Amino acid sequence: MYVYMHACIYICMYVCMYICMYVCMYACMYVCMHTCMYVCMHLCGYVYMYVCMHLCVYVYMYVCMHLFMYVCMYACMYVYMYVSMHGCIHVFMHVCVYVCMHAYMCVCMYVCMYVCIYAMYDIYMYVYMYVCMHVYMYVCIYVCTYACTSYEPSCTGNAVPLSGILTIKCLIISWNLLKNKYSS
């Protein structure tokens, strides 16, 4: 009975993790990200696309994105798999996904943004960074993340709404930074 119970826990845990993390998150993030990025870059102009792409987009795509995916997400997955077996796995998974995603959004993305902004003052970069990037960050990623996790049952029966709180905080921080930058 003990072996059977642990076998069931492992099977359920691996099925849940691999379906949710690898299929849903990869599909949502890559499809949604590429759609938003190419639409935004065309809207913001070809000058930005050819001047800033190598400085900003590739830094974001291949450094920040992979840092998030291979460090933060894998760390969360392994902590989830080995620690949360005897706890409330659904709540832990929600907390893990939301914390990692928003840590990535609010830290890694802002590092990339300000590195690019201070490296090259370009009107198209400002338009892209403060309009298109925020559309991608706070709409596209938020919707994908919430859609991927909101239907996963937790111990309380509902998804933990941490993303809404953190997204509002990020928007307030962004607005204050913009206001201070242009008022000075």
3-state helix, strand, coil in the chain (%, to 5): 90, 0, 10
DSSP 85: G
Average pLDDT, the chain: 58
CA distance 56 to 59: 5
C-alpha 56, offset from chain centre = 17
Q: What is the C-alpha to C-alpha distance for residues 72 and 65, in angstroms, rounded to an integer? A: 10
What's the average model confidence in pLDDT over 66-75?
61
Domain coverage including residue 52? 2-183
Number of structural domains found in the chain = 1
Q: Which residues contact 72 (CB under 8 A, 6 or more apart)?
A: 100, 103, 104
Residue 30 has pLDDT above 60, yes or no: yes
Q: In this model, does residue 75 exceed pLDDT 50?
A: yes
Q: What is the mean pLDDT of residues 110-121?
A: 58
Q: How confident is the model at residue 180 (pLDDT cuts 50, 70, 90)?
A: confident
Look at residue 170 in the predicted model and tell me its pLDDT.
Answer: 55
